[in-house]
Structure 1
């Protein structure tokens, strides 16, 4: 068997899972000679550590950087969630879209600190106060199965938990991750646990120990230097020119959506550990673990070969090491049985040889998207920047190969056109955890081989390059590249999309109870490529009402990336049904050459400078409300905060909404508004509000209603000045159980009676939580109409605080209107209408 075919078989049978777990780069790697030498040194080390916590940004980047770059262990971070329930400081994405951002921030962090990234299927549903609540929402056995699967696949020698199992963790997800670390350790080594995994590539694996990485942050200091094992992790690395603390700071600062930019740390620093399970530590982290090639059978002489390569390595001529590296590869291929560590090191070795030769390869498409049914046309750009003779033997995609036999002369930019058969389905590039509808607190992922992966394996070319009589494989990701005049080269993943995309505006249609009024719905149809819709129809279908309607349209001719807006009048089809809520699905049938094809997907592209563009497809449904809603007043001023969809809800309620800017916050301009609403965290992000205090208070004093949504007061977001007419502070209290009971402490207060009678029914169907960051330190000037509490906790009255002032009212609301209104929760609309209608005094 020729070496090329043998290598293909090895890759097909052994390396697929390993490649899928690696953090994926946006820009092709071009490491320095020093970094290459460090990678060669890492070939000697056969130890691995898995770090486990709950969210993106929970991980200890300093420890991960030390493990990967100083100890040279294979290091992974398993985050149980993708951070979907966090708070977004850089935009208005929430839920799964925020999870997409935070996933990429984690992958960007791992590219810096050298770790690999894993996830379970657990959905971050927001703040949780204890693990019991967490496991009521998550499927505990499913999460444990995922943890065990990752342990059995990654096979760590040591597991490190970020958090303890008790309240010191500060968050129910945190303590749950500590529980999962211990239970995963116990189950992964038990042949009677999760036996279905054994037929899918897993085998029993027992790590040596589980340690808890103790900490001192916030008000919790869990470090006991007299009893806990410690590591010095502040070393300086001359090969990279950075200390571990500098790498950690750069890695940590990738969590931009959470406001975790930090300084680079330099100098000595210790990490402390407490034993959770397994063998105790006597001398070092890897006590009882063989981390050299002695742990692999029939691997005699390999360490000596690597030492020889290191000794003769020439920083100015890394390509001089290629012959010895190729001999090392032949020796690894000869090892039988074929150990997992051999597979890992063969993968790393190919990358090292590529970098020693200065091989740069990219697979660039001319368009960012492939339409279903089409192929992607690309250009393979490749260059050999060494004097070592080599040639391309074969190019492949999805196990289909084409012989090329093209030399790669020294320092010559070579271009090879190629077409890859993509575009069979949107699912090819849809984030794998979003391919199926989410189930309560868990993503639905049916393919066991996908579970645990950081993201989809990107479409890549397989380029087999012959160096003498040896072969290495280079895997350039298929990407779209654009050159921006300011930002220069930008690389983004290619994605598969439908020829037509369908968007609805607004996302909620609100009908007054028993009104005959129709509602206006805009349907935006976007074509990805030129197309003719010969006999188009828009189809409307109610999920809960049986409503169906077909709306024929005139023929439409679309240019590429064209958009056409169609305005529909939707009747109040809920009238007389007795129902209050429905979900309206829309689809588009272009007819003509498209036959009976029906399109209903929208596409969202999330673009930030610090991550690759994220694309996902979804059905843009419309929530329909048919409720008893009364409103008073007409004109509302809205000052944007960190991002919410309150203005859209106000428009549906029938108000006229004016967006306010700093220059508008003057009493003579504000007096035209019946109420002014501040977006979430407005006082955290607009420093000028401190100077606008007097003008806003004058507006209230003269009879206006000022409604301030929640703000935070912590190390990330502090308040710069006064907010209200009377003193109060913002605490950390929140009500996380969205089904928790509500008490009316002031049942006769106008906010509970005018113009809508508020009952406990108005608090049914809330999503994720009740409230965040309550008002505290309130004196007798404040009216507190609502009492809330989570299970087994005392009642809290700071979720809604109203202060009559002069003729008007100041309101601080920690209630999560920013979640409930876009979700179409009827009671949230009715309660907001009452806040806007608070009477003058």
Structure 2
């Protein structure tokens, strides 16, 4: 019975956008109210489909949602996990969490709703076939069908075509899946297990929203087109301005764009369904006549006509009358829109009364098994009485105010046990082990959600004999002296969270470099009588076994404890491949194991995001030889290379703009630039001559990949001789690597590089290859994806004066944190390039 309630609660809640975690309660102006009133008469919907965050056409979404007032959704098949990160070093699922929140911020601006499938962004793909194979086509097709059946769009629009013009295998696959789902969603034989919750749905038509990306123009004047550049006087902005604000939320991708004003056409090519001449929803009744209830149209008109922006509460009686009339329509044809419009009316009633309710705490972390102080604030800022205001939390309900009226604030403080399962706050798509190309979600009704459904309190109240309920997320509220009032999500944690550093241990370095393991733990509860032991589960060639380290452990609330442990002394006889540190705690004759690490992601533009993962360390037992001691590192957009260099035994000094211009560069055995450094650091252009002088006097400059595009142009000279940066990449991490010069020092000193060094790589080989290079440069490797010509631009190098310069698109920033031995050995050789005499 309990799971049944959960299913239907989830099914219903997809019909309305709920408040996001970590988001201040929305402010609704009189202009906003009028826009929402006008929307009550519009019964049309459009679903936009593409592959990634930032693929969506925000101008079109803003036009559809705010001008046409259609219910508008964006289905991004992936969360953008495999992209690059311009603001930090998060990769994979961590980056996907950031980009999910950026999409939600964008939707709050343009007015559309956000959905996802279970597809994982595994990086750049060059074919539809590869994307569908890795994603498991039927799995993701079922997700697209599921969302179509729930959202019931009249029109589906894809951002891309299902062919090579899409420019990315994920792009073309998103179109191919949408086109197939357009028909499959209407077929009861397709994914029949969904039909216990939804019904088959046939959209009227499906379009491809053609584009002009400069180098690729797919638009033509014989296509259907719309001017979406209009001005909305209630918002005070044109749709081009709204679109720019929305798109600029994709900060991790560096997608800030200028506001656009004036006429702006979007073009559409029909890929299925009925053709059109004048309107995207041509042939669809988009008012209440579509449900056989045309008599509701004049009722909505009356509410709008009676609306006074200086006294919004005056139309609440009319809204309640309309709500009753709508809910008397119970036909299957009306059911979907009755539910949707009832939710819209409920939000309007609250906005017209100025109703405000929040549930906040003075701490962000809630410990399973503990209690939490919760403050509930409720105020009705309108003149109509709101009666019987009560709160439902877990299995308890209590009255906040018998009657709330005339701007009187009611506050209730309670203390209640917190959530009993901290994993319920884990992002739902990360709760289970994922497949290679997709997430595992065992609760089908969660599929499509951008984030976990709200887990908090429910406030209920009565207005003129009509009972309303509202879900209140439990939030942490505090005041920052600079930023002011801030809301952040509250999340549950286990009593003890464990961590360890580094993520990779190099167990066979030559010369020897002591490897230290830092095991840390934070106790979120006071455990005075508890006794603890640090234990290590080791996985190796001979299976698994445990090793323990007796230490004195204290469990003081909110106190972080760290223990530095010599890897060599503890594991001198073993060669484990994986180590899983955990804390074993004995408390009142009970022994509990704590092995969950927690990742916190904190940026000003998104709410705090967290997730749990098994605490583990990868051990590399292959020999890695190094030469040199001191590395100068010029950070780019963010990567984990400096930490890997320290593990290799190097001393790493960060070269910021001031240091780059003033320190003696000749001290460094090598200088390495971080990923995209030349895209984001103007100082590199200013210090070009200094860097080239460093190289010519015997230095070694290693430049990691940069992009050359509208989004990330390279504004500086990079090497001593000319070369270009292309968009060529090798996306198959197993692609064969051909060595072009077996005698190169890069392949021979101090490590002998061979085919085995290219085994076990992740996601891709190399990106943004060099092209058109001067004859002074020497390429070292040739590689290519299936069906393509070989390319030798993944690494080029040259002697310049007494030193060396290297440009490489090889993805060290992915391979080193993943513990790929060959990547460490190859980087060690690049660093040693100017150390061996005779070359």
DSSP 3-state at the match of 1:597: strand
Q: Which moved more, 1:19-28 or 1:657-666?
A: 19-28
Q: CA deviation at 1:570?
A: 2.4
Distance 1:50 1:642 in 2: 34
Distance 2:685 2:481 in 1: 38
Q: Identify if the C-alpha distance between structure 1 residues 638 and 405 changes in structure 2 by more than 3 Å, giving closer, same or farther.
A: closer
Q: CA deviation at 1:626?
A: 0.2
Residue 215 in structure 1 maps to residue 211 in structure 2: yes
Q: Is the 8 A contact 2:362 2:373 kept in 1?
A: yes
Residue 747 in structure 1 maps to residue 747 in structure 2: no
- The one of 476, 500, 506 aligned to 1:504: 500
Q: Identify if the C-alpha distance between structure 1 residues 575 and 747 changes in structure 2 by more than 3 Å, giving closer, same or farther.
A: farther
Q: Identify if the C-alpha distance between structure 1 residues 20 and 237 changes in structure 2 by more than 3 Å, giving closer, same or farther.
A: closer
DSSP 3-state at the match of 1:787: strand
Q: Which residue of 2 aligns with 1:319?
A: 313
Distance 1:572 1:827 in 2: 26
Q: CA deviation at 1:373?
A: 1.6
DSSP 3-state at the match of 1:537: strand
Q: Is the 8 A contact 1:641 1:682 kept in 2?
A: yes
Q: Is the 8 A contact 2:639 2:813 kept in 1?
A: yes
Unaligned runs of 5+ in 1: 1-7
Q: Which residue of 2 aligns with 1:592?
A: 587
- The one of 621, 639, 652 aligned to 2:616: 621
Matches within 5 A, 1:26-45: 26-45=23-42
- The one of 805, 808, 825 aligned to 2:820: 825
Matches within 5 A, 1:315-714: 315-337=309-331, 339-398=335-394, 401-404=397-400, 406-419=402-415, 421-512=417-508, 519-532=515-528, 534-545=530-541, 546-571=543-568, 582-593=577-588, 595-665=590-660, 669-714=664-709
Q: CA deviation at 1:398?
A: 4.9
Q: Identify if the C-alpha distance between structure 1 residues 516 and 756 changes in structure 2 by more than 3 Å, giving closer, same or farther.
A: closer
Q: Which residue of 2 aligns with 1:119?
A: 116
Q: CA deviation at 1:238?
A: 1.6
The CA deviation string for residues 621-648 of structure 1, in whole angstroms up to 9 with x for no partner, is 1010101221222222222221111122
DSSP 3-state at the match of 2:455: coil
Q: CA deviation at 1:783?
A: 1.2
Q: CA deviation at 1:771?
A: 0.6
Q: Which residue of 1 aligns with 2:277?
A: 282
Q: Is the 8 A contact 1:22 1:117 kept in 2?
A: no
Q: Which moved more, 1:142-151 or 1:686-695?
A: 686-695
Unaligned runs of 5+ in 2: none
DSSP 3-state at the match of 2:89: coil
Matches within 5 A, 1:38-53: 38-53=35-50
Q: CA deviation at 1:184?
A: 0.9
Q: Is the 8 A contact 1:513 1:575 kept in 2?
A: no
Residue 96 in structure 1 maps to residue 90 in structure 2: no
Q: CA deviation at 1:558?
A: 3.7
Q: CA deviation at 1:229?
A: 0.8
Q: Identify if the C-alpha distance between structure 1 residues 460 and 98 changes in structure 2 by more than 3 Å, giving closer, same or farther.
A: same
Q: CA deviation at 1:404?
A: 5.0
DSSP 3-state at the match of 1:589: strand
Q: Which residue of 2 aligns with 1:756?
A: 751
Q: Is the 8 A contact 1:664 1:670 kept in 2?
A: no
Distance 1:152 1:144 in 2: 12
Q: How many residues are treated as equivalent by the alignment?
A: 829
Distance 1:25 1:491 in 2: 5
Q: Which moved more, 1:236-245 or 1:402-411?
A: 402-411
Distance 1:95 1:528 in 2: 28
Q: CA deviation at 1:779?
A: 2.1
Distance 2:805 2:7 in 1: 69
Q: CA deviation at 1:518?
A: 6.5
Distance 1:530 1:693 in 2: 56
Q: Which moved more, 1:361-370 or 1:665-674?
A: 665-674
Q: Which residue of 2 aligns with 1:248?
A: 243
Q: CA deviation at 1:576?
A: 8.2
DSSP 3-state at the match of 2:15: helix
Matches within 5 A, 1:226-265: 227-265=222-260
Q: Identify if the C-alpha distance between structure 1 residues 439 and 286 changes in structure 2 by more than 3 Å, giving closer, same or farther.
A: same
- The one of 759, 764, 767 aligned to 2:762: 767
Q: Identify if the C-alpha distance between structure 1 residues 691 and 594 changes in structure 2 by more than 3 Å, giving closer, same or farther.
A: farther
Q: Which moved more, 1:159-168 or 1:419-428?
A: 419-428
Q: Which moved more, 1:24-33 or 1:106-115?
A: 24-33
Q: Identify if the C-alpha distance between structure 1 residues 313 and 666 changes in structure 2 by more than 3 Å, giving closer, same or farther.
A: closer
DSSP 3-state at the match of 1:643: coil
Q: Is the 8 A contact 1:21 1:453 kept in 2?
A: no
Q: CA deviation at 1:309?
A: 0.5
Q: CA deviation at 1:649?
A: 1.3
Distance 2:273 2:37 in 1: 32
DSSP 3-state at the match of 1:18: coil
Distance 1:255 1:645 in 2: 22
Q: CA deviation at 1:553?
A: 3.6
Q: CA deviation at 1:242?
A: 1.7
Q: Which moved more, 1:703-712 or 1:149-158?
A: 703-712
TM-score after normalising by structure 1:
0.95
Distance 1:752 1:825 in 2: 17
Q: Which residue of 2 aligns with 1:4?
A: none
Superposed CA RMSD: 2.2
Q: Which segments of structure 1 move beyond 6 Å, counting only runs of 4 or more?
A: 8-11, 20-25, 513-518, 572-577
Residue 307 in structure 1 maps to residue 301 in structure 2: yes
Q: CA deviation at 1:399?
A: 6.8
Q: CA deviation at 1:308?
A: 0.4
Q: Is the 8 A contact 2:513 2:649 kept in 1?
A: no
The CA deviation string for residues 495-538 of structure 1, in whole angstroms up to 9 with x for no partner, is 11112111111110111189998731011111224333632111
Q: Identify if the C-alpha distance between structure 1 residues 831 and 267 changes in structure 2 by more than 3 Å, giving closer, same or farther.
A: same
The CA deviation string for residues 427-484 of structure 1, in whole angstroms up to 9 with x for no partner, is 2211111111221010111110000111111223211111121222232221111111
Q: Which moved more, 1:404-413 or 1:228-237?
A: 404-413
Q: CA deviation at 1:116?
A: 0.7
Q: Identify if the C-alpha distance between structure 1 residues 709 and 292 changes in structure 2 by more than 3 Å, giving closer, same or farther.
A: same
Q: Which moved more, 1:72-81 or 1:504-513?
A: 504-513
Residue 803 in structure 1 maps to residue 798 in structure 2: yes
Q: Identify if the C-alpha distance between structure 1 residues 748 and 515 changes in structure 2 by more than 3 Å, giving closer, same or farther.
A: closer
